[in-house]
Homo-oligomer: A and B are copies of this chain.
Amino acid sequence: MFVNQVHNGGMETLDNAAPAADTCCTPGAGPVIDEQEAQRKARILKAFADPKRLQLLSIIKAGDSAETCVCNLTEPLELGQPTVSHHLKILVDAGFLTRRRRGTWAYYSLVPGALESAAAELVDL
């Protein structure tokens, strides 16, 4: 099924005289992340890859008491309340926000150091 690695189909004249005429480059033997690790990192980074979620994090980060309820988030984002709750759930599941109910209101706050660790995942992949 796979016919990728057939670079020289029966080439006999090469032997070892030609230095590297038909090899494109050395494959590189350094450590490479596997598929599972790549999926884990991608799942984390996907939580940030949305403009509305970035604005959510920015607003919550700029909050005075480091706690923000949903009613203060629907208006500046120009989104419906269900959509805001949806984005907040994604950020909570990704481990970047914590949710705390007080009365009928739900307050969200940043998890300390979560952004920094996510950024570290990017640099040393």
CB of A17 closer than 8 Å to a CB of B: no
- Copies of this chain, whole number: 2
Chain B residues with CB under 8 Å of A39's CB are 51
Taking A33-B58, A35-B55, A42-B54 as contacts, is the C-beta distance between A122 and B26 under 8 angstroms?
no
B72, A25: Cβ atoms closer than 8 Å:
yes
Say whether, besides A64-B26, A65-B25, A68-B28, A50 and B58 are in contact (CB < 8 Å): no
Chain A residues touching B, range: 35 or more
Interface on A for B, CB 8 Å cutoff? Answer: 2, 4-5, 7, 24-33, 35, 38-39, 41-42, 45-46, 48-52, 54-55, 57-59, 61-65, 67-69, 71-72, 74-76, 105, 107, 115-116, 118-120, 122-123, 125
